[in-house]
Amino acid sequence: MANRVRTAVFPVAGLGTRFLPATKAMPKEMLTVVDRPVIQYAVDEAREAGIEHFVFVTGRNKGVIEDHFDRQFELEATLEARGKSEALAELRRDLPRAGQTSFTRQQEPLGLGHAVWCARDIVGREPFALLLPDMIFQSAPGVLKQMMDAYETTGGNVIAVEEVPMENVASYGVVARGEGPDTGFAITGMVEKPKPANAPSNLIISGRYILQPEIFSLLSDATAGAGGEIQITDAMHQLMARQSFTGVKYQGRSFDCGSKIGFLTANVVFALDRPDIADDFMAELKTLTGDIPISIAN
Ligand code: G1P
C-alpha cells in the first residue's frame, strides 16, 4: 500500500506583481474570492483530502498569512459578545489545529523548484502534496481528493492535469499522456513552458501534485531551467527515470487567480455558488449585461 500523504506544501513567496498596487503591502494570496482569501481555498482542499500538516513557504511581506491561520482572541470574544455565533463557528472551523502549521522562508526568488526545496526538512522522508494556491477549483470532491483516490492504487507521484487550447500551453508545464483512463493514466514525459510546436500535448499541469521525497535530492542539484528559474517540472522529469508518474484529468473547473481575468471570473463563479448572495448578485449581473442571462458552464 502507498505511504499515506499527511503533509502539504504551499509555496506563497511570489511577489504578485500582476496585482500591483493591491499587492504592494499585502500578499497576493490574501486577495479575496468573495470573502475568503485565495490561500484559504487551497488549504480547505488539502484538509478535505486528509492533510494534517500545512507547510507554507513564505517570503518578505507575507507575515499576514501566518496571522490568518492563527487565533484572533479579541475578534472571537467580540463575535461571541455580539451573539454572532455563525461567523464565530466558521472562523473556528477554518483554523488549523495547534501544531498543524509550519512556516519557512524562501529568501531569494529562485523559482518554484527552489521554493519546494526550502520545505525539505519540514516534510522529511514522506510523500507530500504540493498545492500552488494561485490555482483554485470548482469541483466536488476537491482536486487533491480526486488525486488521493488515484494515489491509493498507483502510489508513486501523481499530477493533476487539464486541457487548454494549444496556443496557451507556453504558460504552463505540459505532460505527455500514456496508457490509462482520465482517473489515472501513465505520464510518459513532461516539459515546462514549451512553445506550442514542441509541446507533447495540450494537457497542462494544474498546480496540484503528490510527490515522493526523492524529489528533494534532485532539487538540491537543480540548475535553472525555463525563465532562468529552478523548475519543479525539470526535477520531476528526472525522477520519471526512477519512479512512476500518474496523471489525473480531474473533474471540475480551474481558475488561475494569478491572472486578473482568472481572479475576476473566480469571484463571479464562486459568488453565484453562494446561496446567501447568488440571487441578488445574479440580478446585478443581469442589469450590467443588459438582461442577457449569464450561464455558468461547469
Ligand atoms: C507553475 C508550474 C507549471 C504549472 C503552473 C500551474 O508555473 O511551473 O508547471 O503548469 O504553475 O499554474 P507558474 O504559474 O509558476 O509560472
pLDDT digits (tens, 9 = 90+) for 49-83: 999 999 999 998 899 999 999 999 999 999 999 99
Model confidence band, residue 224 (pLDDT cutoffs 50, 70, 90): confident
Local confidence band at 226 (pLDDT 50, 70, 90 cut-offs): confident
The answer as to whether 182 is a domain residue is yes
Q: Check if 230 has its Cβ closer than 6 Å to any atom of ligand 1.
A: no
Does the Cβ of 57 fall within 6 Å of ligand 1?
A: no
In angstroms, rounded to a whole number, what is the distance separating the alpha carbons of residues 66 and 7?
17
Give yes or no for residue 189 having a pLDDT over 50.
yes
122 touches 105 (CB < 8 A): no
Asked whether residue 298 is assigned to any structural domain, the reply reads: no
% pLDDT > 70, the chain: 97
Query: Residue 171: pLDDT above 70?
Result: yes
Rg of the chain over all Cα atoms, to the nearest angstrom: 20
Ligand 1 in reach of 190 Cβ (< 6 A): no
Q: What is the pLDDT of residue 258?
A: 92
**Ligand 1 proximity of 233 Cβ (cutoff 6 Å):** yes
Please state the pTM of the whole predicted model.
0.94
Residue 296 lies in a domain: no
Q: What spacing in Å lies between the alpha carbon of 287 and ligand 1's midpoint?
A: 36
Contacts for 135 with CB less than 8 Å, ≥ 6 apart: 42, 206, 207, 208, 254, 255, 256, 257, 258
pLDDT at 45 over 60: yes
What would the mean pLDDT of 278-288 be, rounded to a whole number? Answer: 94
188 within domain boundaries: yes
Confidence of residue 292 (pLDDT cuts 50, 70, 90): low
Residue 74 is assigned to a structural domain of this protein: yes
Measured from the CB, is residue 247 less than 6 Å from ligand 1? no
Structural domain for 212, as ranges: 7-291
What are the pLDDT digits (tens) for 101-115?
A: 999 999 999 999 999
For ligand 1, mutation pick of 112, 131, 190, 215 (most atoms within 8 Å of CB): 112
Identify whether 140 is part of a domain: yes
172 C-beta closer than 6 A to ligand 1: yes
What's the mean pLDDT in 13-37?
92
65 lines ligand 1 (CB under 6 A): no
Specify the ligand 1 atom closest to the Cα of 256.
12
Distance from the alpha carbon of residue 205 to the mean position of ligand 1, in angstroms: 7
**Residue 1 in domain:** no
- pLDDT for residue 294: 59
pLDDT band at 248 (very low <50, low <70, confident <90, very high): very high
> What pLDDT, on the 0 to 100 scale, is given for residue 225?
85
Can you count the helices (H) and strands (E) in the chain? Answer: 11, 13
Domain of 101, CATH number, reads 3.90.550.10
18 pLDDT higher than 50: yes
User: What is the rounded average pLDDT for all residues in the chain?
Assistant: 94
Index of the ligand 1 atom closest to the CA of residue 204: 10
Q: Is the CB of 169 under 6 A from ligand 1?
A: no
Choice between 294 and 150, residue whose per-residue pLDDT is larger: 150
Q: Is the pLDDT of residue 17 over 60?
A: yes
pLDDT score recorded for residue 298:
46
**pLDDT reading at 245 higher than 80:** yes
Site of grid cell 501566518: 66
Residue 234 confidence (pLDDT) = 95
205 Cα nearest atom in ligand 1: 10
Ligand 1 centre from 260 Cα, in Å?
Answer: 16
CA distance 70 to 52: 16
Pocket lining: 173 vs ligand 1, CB cutoff 6 Å? yes
Average pLDDT over every residue of 155-167: 97
Strands 203-211 and 157-163, by their bridges, are antiparallel
Mean pLDDT to the nearest integer, 246-256: 97
Q: How many domains does the chain have?
A: 1
297 falls within a domain? no
Q: Strand 245-249 and strand 185-192: pairing?
A: antiparallel
CB neighbours of 217 closer than 8 A, spacing ≥ 6? none
